[in-house]
A and B are shown apart, each in its own frame.
Chain A
Amino acid sequence: MKAHLMHRDQDFDTARELPDNEPALTQDLELNTLLSAMAAGDPLLFEVAQRALLLSLPEPEAITYRQGILADCLSHPAVVRDLYQLAGEALAAQKSIWGSILQQEQPRSLLRTSVQKMAILITFLRRLRDTAVEHGPSFHSPGLSRFFAMVMEELDDEYFALIEGYVTELNFKSGLLLSARLAGGNKSAGYTLRRAREQGFIARMLDRSGYTFTVADRDEAGARALGELEDRGVNLVANALAQSVHHVSSFFVMLRKEIGFYVACLNLAERLSDKQEPTAFPTVVSHDRAQLTARALYDVCLTLTIDGPVVANDIDADHKSLIMITGGNQGGKSTLLRSIGLAQLMAQCGMFVAADSLAVSACDGVFTHYKREEDETMESGKLDEELARMSAIAEHITPRCLLLCNESFAATNEREGSQIARQVVDAMLGENVRVTFVTHMFDLANGYYEQGKSDALFLRAERGAEGSRPFRLSEGEPLPTSYGEDSYRKIFGKAVSPTTVAATDT
């Protein structure tokens, strides 16, 4: 009995290691902002959403499966939240039964607590079945209709009668019947619990089979020995029932995690709809066609952190392996880069994206290489550090991945920096990695522009009226001057001295 709400034919893998680039992705794309909104204070939802986002689905078909379930959930949010609640309650109720405080619980005690736990879990299985009966028919996605049908089929009345029977039997009203054989040193071994014949009082009195003895009332050692014998006798059945408790609990654990992903999506959807930001289910195509067409793509993390509306961009980058983003500071370059990364991750975990529409090709992994601000003091070490990080990326990146670079290799002079960057970018493109590169290195960007590559797109941060920036980028060739002089003038209230400019340009 598997919920299978995250994959059509397998469990949501909660044990798999997060990818090695997880810390970089989290930092560079500000994933914690997104995940916190999805979690809405629930740590489990945070974890589930994190795994779903970072362990992307490469197959468009698998993405569609989740999109279907999520669409169902968006139509019936209350039922879905109830299911999440029910699974949580089942686990909490079961946990409230405390066994022995000993490190290893003795079999009789384990059996007692397992019987109690199972009795509780059975009531939640009944509730689950009732929910399925009541609401199942109104769900239409392949994932959820299968789930509810399975619950109704597996948990029928006959099954409840069977398992409730075991719970009663394991209270041992008519004593313990054990089979055994002689092992080393003639000690009894292989104790196995057998179903005792139902025997009335008279029949028991008249039973003359075998031989009997009685442990005297005052014989404490004897009573202990008898207890240990019972422990040995119920060892296997206690294990069987405890494992069954574990399995039923695991079912609820998995159900809670899998349905939790959709609850997390509901949380985010509600936040965005409160801000009247648009969302859309993306069209994800297989990665052999480079595709990226977005309408009104915005930075979901930015909108979650500010009050007003955020600028959205259109991108038409179908058949483009390289997107080179240039332009002045504060021009929205980083925001766009982050929107692209976030949209890719959200699309590939089956979520909606922060846009009016998005068509994107799947990739095998998103990697980020951002200029790090933290250690500006140690200039000489910075380039080393950047190269080391790029080298670490090279350890893990594969063809069909997406690499997002933000002012990479700016730690050295432009000639050297763009030379290194060019070598990296050429290598990546040659290996079929899509690259989006934000840079103010004219030498780098213009070099690619002059190659006239048909699979490269050049976007530029626009200069708005009177130098104010609208955070909207449009297609345009790289320009030799950055907007640093503008910014300087704006902030310092005066222009950069011409001699400085002349000296720099020669």
Chain B
Amino acid sequence: MPFHSVLFDRDSDAADSGHEPDFFSDLHLDQIVASLTSGREDYRLAPFFHHALHSVESVRYRHHVLGDLERADVLSAVQAFAAGMARMREHLALVDKLHYDLQKQRWFLEAGGEYCRVVSAFSDALDALELESPGLRSLREFLTTYRASETFTALVTETQQGKDELAAIRYTVHIRGSRVRVSEYEDAPDVGEEVQAAFAKFRQDAARDYRVRFPNYADMNHVEAQILGLVARLFPQPFAHLADYCVRHRGYLDSTIARFDREVQFYLAYLEYIAPLKAAGLAFSYPRVSARSKDITATATFDLSLAAKLVDEHTPVVCNDLHLAGPERILVVSGPNNGGKTTFARTFGQLHYLASLGLPVPGTDTRLFLPDRVFTHFEREENIETLRGKFEDELYRIHAILQEATPASVLIMNESFGSTTLRDAVIVGTEVMKHIISLDALCVFVTFVDELASLSESTVSMMSTVVPDDPAVRTFKVVRKPADGLAYAAALAEKYGLTTEMLRQRISR
């Protein structure tokens, strides 16, 4: 199979035009993508993160490539390649930007040199590596063929000649008043060295470095250009070769190599993003994905964007387990506020979306469903004047979701109906829940309405929890547990000695 893409097992042009999905900001995927693409703007990676895969085969193609890239030797080879290509682009940018031809030509030569070096080095590196993935193996074959091609070998030879000739040039510039003489270099003593030697005996300590670091602008002023012009007159041959080189190798860059350079950054960006989290002891795994089975599981999983922030602040990350088997489809999450309910819901959504990008996901022992779409319903910040307006707005959005969702969708419903009466919330919530149950879609439903947790065999109740001895401390653990809206209040009362029993004892003494 000829190599064409490291991201797609079959060609997918649509991948480059995707817009950001609606649920991105609710799941904080926008933050994750912003963070992992920052510093990589040139590669335009966001479209790749907006484009979910829908075939198990395509997901596995990426898993295999990542499996290779997770090995330090493979990763460093790819990183070295990417760094070289970035330097090459910097050189080419100067060719466009600069004014004097002798400068443009030299940067073009440097770009060619960098390209030759990096392609050869990368091909050598891949040859020495044990590669498992079809993606990188066929890239390796492609490079082997390309390197042996007439075009590339000629480029290598001529680039090196050009560089050697220019590097050998030595000259002197004699400035006397406004008159400048450029001549071939003849050996003469270095005055700076002599001065240093003469006073070395007084040396007490490392003196400050007084050397001025001159701004190294890429362009030249006309005096420098005049000097360069005279240098070119002194050494005509190397400069003639240089001009010729630029004409003959104008289109040296191979399009397949250029495409790989961009696409592989999708993986590098993600691996780099999760590296500190792994170093902090958090686990990632390649999920077993299925487009049919809705038995899902994830152990010690977590919200990726929150974990990135906490690890950065050296704060511990709380992990949770989730599990749905048999008829179970819906996790109904209730419990104390700020107890990690929203984070848990987000985690569920992120897991499924990241899985559909073919990436390793937070947690161990992960088995996930490959959804056709992900829908989220989070409370909006929008300023809607009346409670009724807000409630209705929510219902509109929920309705729209239920219209579009299929049994293969994943739904994240976060704290709906907070803006209405309990009675309304129970009634409407139950109705919505019944819809979802009959849809048979996977769902997380965060609610304060206990009743929703036990509507059918497809619902599973989970609760955010607190530390038993100190209910003011949230654990951010969300566990399978029957919904009990009074548990938190009871624990707080105990802490202050105000449970019925304790209070009676205190009064009776």
Residues of A within 8 A of B (CB): 1-2, 11, 104-107, 110, 154, 162-163, 166, 169-170, 174-182, 184-188, 191-197, 207, 209-217, 221-223, 225-226, 228-233, 235-244, 246-248, 250-251, 253-254
In the bound complex, how far is the Cα of B189 from the Cα of A240, in angstroms?
15
- The answer, among B195, B214, B221, B234, for a CB contact under 8 Å with A240, is B195
- The answer, among A179, A210, A240, for a CB contact under 8 Å with B193, is A240
Determine the residue in chain A with the shortest Cβ distance to B101.
Answer: A186
Q: Is the CB of B223 within 8 A of A185?
A: no
A-B contact pairs, 11 of them (CB 8 A): A170-B191, A182-B106, A182-B169, A185-B220, A186-B105, A225-B224, A226-B223, A232-B214, A246-B208, A247-B204, A247-B207
User: Does B98 touch A at the CB level, under 8 Å?
Assistant: yes
Q: Is the CB of B184 within 8 A of A210?
A: yes
Q: Is the CB of A226 within 8 A of B180?
A: yes
- The answer, among A110, A209, A214, A246, for a CB contact under 8 Å with B178, is A214
Q: Is the CB of A215 within 8 A of B170?
A: no
User: Does B228 touch A at the CB level, under 8 Å?
Assistant: yes
Within the complex, what minimum Cβ distance (angstroms) separates B262 from chain A? 26
Taking A210-B181, A215-B223, A221-B221 as contacts, is the C-beta distance between A163 and B191 under 8 angstroms? no
Q: Is the CB of B195 within 8 A of A229?
A: no
- The answer, among B105, B188, B195, B208, for a CB contact under 8 Å with A177, is B188
- The answer, among B106, B178, B199, B208, for a CB contact under 8 Å with A163, is B199
Most A C-beta atoms less than 10 A away, residue of B171, B175, B224, B227:
B175
Q: Is the CB of A177 within 8 A of B211?
A: no
Q: Is the CB of A251 within 8 A of B202?
A: yes
- In the complex, which residues of chain B have a beta carbon less than 8 angstroms from the beta carbon of A186? 102-103, 105-106, 166, 228
- List residues 182-229 of chain B with CB under 8 A from any CB of chain A: 182-185, 188-196, 198-205, 207-212, 214, 216, 218, 220-224, 226-228
Within the complex, what minimum Cβ distance (angstroms) separates B186 from chain A? 9
Taking A178-B173, A210-B230 as contacts, is the C-beta distance between A188 and B201 under 8 angstroms? no
User: Does B107 touch A at the CB level, under 8 Å?
Assistant: yes
- In the complex, which residues of chain A have a beta carbon less than 8 angstroms from the beta carbon of B169? 181-182
Determine the residue in chain A with the shortest Cβ distance to B230.
Answer: A211
In the bound complex, how far is the Cα of B201 from the Cα of A163, in angstroms?
12
- In the complex, which residues of chain A have a beta carbon less than 8 angstroms from the beta carbon of B181? 207, 209-212
User: Does B39 touch A at the CB level, under 8 Å?
Assistant: no
In the bound complex, how far is the Cα of B228 from the Cα of A154, in angstroms?
46
In the bound complex, how far is the Cα of B82 from the Cα of A333, in angstroms?
77
- In the complex, which residues of chain B have a beta carbon less than 8 angstroms from the beta carbon of A110? 210, 212
Q: Is the CB of B173 within 8 A of A188?
A: yes
- The answer, among B192, B204, B234, for a CB contact under 8 Å with A251, is B204
- The answer, among B94, B174, B228, B230, for a CB contact under 8 Å with A176, is B174
Give 3 closest A-B pairs by Cβ, nearest first.
Answer: A210-B183, A175-B176, A244-B199
Determine the residue in chain A with the shortest Cβ distance to B179.
Answer: A214
User: Does B278 touch A at the CB level, under 8 Å?
Assistant: no
- In the complex, which residues of chain A have a beta carbon less than 8 angstroms from the beta carbon of B195? 166, 170, 237, 240-241, 244
Q: Is the CB of B184 within 8 A of A182?
A: no
Taking A185-B103, A188-B227 as contacts, is the C-beta distance between A213 and B180 under 8 angstroms? yes
Taking A180-B171, A210-B230 as contacts, is the C-beta distance between A193 and B191 under 8 angstroms? yes
User: Does B231 touch A at the CB level, under 8 Å?
Assistant: yes
Known: A170-B195, A178-B174, A209-B184. 16 other contacts (CB 8 A): A110-B210, A176-B174, A179-B172, A182-B106, A186-B103, A186-B228, A187-B224, A187-B228, A194-B191, A209-B183, A211-B182, A213-B180, A221-B221, A225-B222, A236-B211, A243-B208
- The answer, among A177, A217, A246, A254, for a CB contact under 8 Å with B172, is A177
Residues of B within 8 A of A (CB): 94, 98, 102-103, 105-107, 110, 166-167, 169-185, 188-196, 198-205, 207-212, 214, 216, 218, 220-224, 226-228, 230-231, 233-234
Within the complex, what minimum Cβ distance (angstroms) separates A272 from chain B? 34
In the bound complex, how far is the Cα of B192 from the Cα of A107, in angstroms?
13
Q: Is the CB of A222 within 8 A of B174?
A: no
- The answer, among B105, B167, B192, B234, for a CB contact under 8 Å with A237, is B192
- In the complex, which residues of chain A have a beta carbon less than 8 angstroms from the beta carbon of B192? 192-193, 236-237, 239-240
- In the complex, which residues of chain A have a beta carbon less than 8 angstroms from the beta carbon of B188? 177, 179, 194-197
- The answer, among B210, B224, B233, for a CB contact under 8 Å with A243, is B210
- The answer, among B102, B201, B226, for a CB contact under 8 Å with A213, is B226
- In the complex, which residues of chain B have a beta carbon less than 8 angstroms from the beta carbon of A212? 179-182
Determine the residue in chain A with the shortest Cβ distance to B193.
Answer: A240
In the bound complex, how far is the Cα of B220 from the Cα of A471, in angstroms?
84
In the bound complex, how far is the Cα of B167 from the Cα of A184, in angstroms?
10
Determine the residue in chain A with the shortest Cβ distance to B171.
Answer: A180
Within the complex, what minimum Cβ distance (angstroms) separates B96 from chain A? 13
Most A C-beta atoms less than 10 A away, residue of B177, B184, B223:
B223
Q: Is the CB of B207 within 8 A of A188?
A: no
Within the complex, what minimum Cβ distance (angstroms) separates A48 from chain B? 16
Within the complex, what minimum Cβ distance (angstroms) separates A180 from chain B? 6
Within the complex, what minimum Cβ distance (angstroms) separates B229 from chain A? 9
Q: Is the CB of B175 within 8 A of A185?
A: no
Q: Is the CB of A226 within 8 A of B175?
A: yes
Within the complex, what minimum Cβ distance (angstroms) separates A156 from chain B? 12
- In the complex, which residues of chain B have a beta carbon less than 8 angstroms from the beta carbon of A230? 175
In the bound complex, how far is the Cα of B171 from the Cα of A194, in angstroms?
12
Determine the residue in chain A with the shortest Cβ distance to B197.
Answer: A240
Determine the residue in chain B with the shortest Cβ distance to A177.
Answer: B174
Q: Is the CB of B183 within 8 A of A250?
A: no
- The answer, among B105, B106, B189, B211, for a CB contact under 8 Å with A194, is B189
Most B C-beta atoms less than 10 A away, residue of A162, A210, A222, A244:
A210
Q: Is the CB of B222 within 8 A of A179?
A: no
- The answer, among B193, B199, B228, for a CB contact under 8 Å with A248, is B199
Determine the residue in chain B with the shortest Cβ distance to A110.
Answer: B210
Determine the residue in chain B with the shortest Cβ distance to A2.
Answer: B204
- In the complex, which residues of chain B have a beta carbon less than 8 angstroms from the beta carbon of A253? 204
Q: Is the CB of B199 within 8 A of A182?
A: no
Q: Is the CB of B177 within 8 A of A175?
A: yes
Most A C-beta atoms less than 10 A away, residue of B107, B193, B198:
B198
Within the complex, what minimum Cβ distance (angstroms) separates B179 from chain A? 5
Taking A174-B176, A185-B106 as contacts, is the C-beta distance between A194 and B234 under 8 angstroms? no
Within the complex, what minimum Cβ distance (angstroms) separates B87 from chain A? 11
In the bound complex, how far is the Cα of B218 from the Cα of A192, in angstroms?
21
Within the complex, what minimum Cβ distance (angstroms) separates A340 from chain B? 37
Q: Is the CB of B199 within 8 A of A247?
A: yes
Determine the residue in chain A with the shortest Cβ distance to B173.
Answer: A178
Q: Is the CB of A184 within 8 A of B110?
A: yes
Within the complex, what minimum Cβ distance (angstroms) separates B134 from chain A? 40
In the bound complex, how far is the Cα of B222 from the Cα of A238, in angstroms?
26
Q: Is the CB of A105 within 8 A of B177?
A: no
Q: Is the CB of A235 within 8 A of B227?
A: no
Taking A105-B210, A182-B166, A192-B190 as contacts, is the C-beta distance between A244 and B184 under 8 angstroms? no
